[in-house]
Chains A and B, each alone.
Chain A
Amino acid sequence: MHEVDMTRCLLQALEDWRDQHPVQPCVEQVHLLVGEFTCVEPSQLRLSFAAAVKDTWLAAAQLSITSVPLVGKCLVCGNSYRPDPACGYASPCCGHPMETILSGRELKIQRIDYS
């Protein structure tokens, strides 16, 4: 259940952000970017976030998770492609291994909406 530990990191970041405000902000929505090529299961993250913020200053906060697809770039032909585990993540045109990852490794706090 590493989503619990990720949630702990997220709360830490939100507290650091809060402490920069003279008046405690009321957080409405926290926007995350979660890449497909990470160990994070968005539904697990939602569950553990909901459990962690209950009865805290973040109780009203909603978590919005945008999933980012895995996109690789083939170094042989220069094409972008969606690596498929069933094909060993290889470039579909030339079978070249997955060298460059353009997106899919994101684990980011993108934006906070508050009042």
Chain B
Amino acid sequence: MHMSISDTMNISLLAANDQQAQHNRQQFDAWGLFCINVMSSPGAGKTILLEQTLRALHGTHAMAVLEGDMTTQLDAQRLTGLGVPVVPITTGRACHLDAAMVSTGLSLLRQQCDPASLDLLWVENVGNLVCPAEFAVGEHCKLALLSVTEGEDKPLKYPVMFREADCVLITKVDLLPHVPADLGRMGRHVRQINPHCGVFPVSALTGAGLGDWLAWLGQQLLAQGRHHRNPPQHPGGLQRPSVTVT
């Protein structure tokens, strides 16, 4: 007689990734570093934001970057010369970074520096608005970018990414005069899905809004009980004009 047995599991489908992410997170915490997972569609401005942020925090924060890219090391090359260790992670076919890839990146990073001496670890994910949101890498903070050229409806069309984000930067606001985008509507669409995340309009090109983004980041670090290794030379970060979302 055929007898079927049922085992109740109730575990995450992504348990394998979640466990590795948990392990990465424990390492970050043991090293005392804060890890930020930077996500967006291709070309929304992740790398240039990192360039500007690394420059702004140079001298006050010890940092490193894990650079996810499907096939090239072009983004990693752009960031070298900014005085921080950069580890390229080519993902090949995979359209997102997963926790195991980040773990491999961490092993490579350890050949370049002692992670315990770092304050911030930036992880630039593969350009993709869909799946990076589901694959935790052990980060403390998820940052999503959305450029004004992508259209106001994108938060509603790719809601999981914007729901998961702790902070959303609306990028390329210097292009607003040239594109039919309503910054207020774009910001409201983000807030419809994620009422409590930080939303800051920025331009990495002109520097507008970067001070607000850096102030938000500073608050997160303070809330985590992390302090500047050296006092900032220019209190308040970049002093630049800011744009606000209403």
A residues touching B (Cβ–Cβ < 8 Å)?
1-2, 5-6, 8-10, 12-13, 16-17, 25, 28, 32, 34, 37-40, 85, 88-90, 97-99, 101, 107-115
Given the known inter-chain contacts A37-B159, A39-B160, A115-B2, please indicate yes or no for A10 contacting B193, CB distance below 8 A.
no
Given the known inter-chain contacts A89-B193, A97-B193, A111-B6, please indicate yes or no for A9 contacting B157, CB distance below 8 A.
no
User: Can you give 29 A-B contacts (C-beta < 8 A)?
Assistant: A1-B93, A2-B131, A9-B13, A9-B14, A9-B15, A13-B9, A16-B16, A17-B7, A28-B4, A34-B13, A37-B163, A39-B130, A88-B193, A97-B192, A97-B193, A101-B163, A107-B12, A107-B13, A107-B134, A109-B9, A109-B13, A110-B10, A111-B6, A112-B6, A112-B7, A113-B4, A113-B6, A114-B7, A115-B4
The residue of chain B having its C-beta at the shortest distance from the C-beta of A41 within the complex is: B130
Encode B67-85 as 1/0 by CB contact (under 8 A) with A: 0000000000000000000
Q: CA of A97 to CA of B197 in the docked complex: distance in angstroms? A: 12
In the complex, whether B3 has a CB less than 8 A from a CB of chain A is yes
The residue of chain B having its C-beta at the shortest distance from the C-beta of A101 within the complex is: B163
In the complex, whether B31 has a CB less than 8 A from a CB of chain A is no
A6 near B14 with CB under 8 A, answer yes
A13 near B193 with CB under 8 A, answer no
Option from A8, A13, A97 in Cβ contact (under 8 Å) with B195: A97
CB neighbours (8 Å) of B163 from chain A are 37, 98, 101
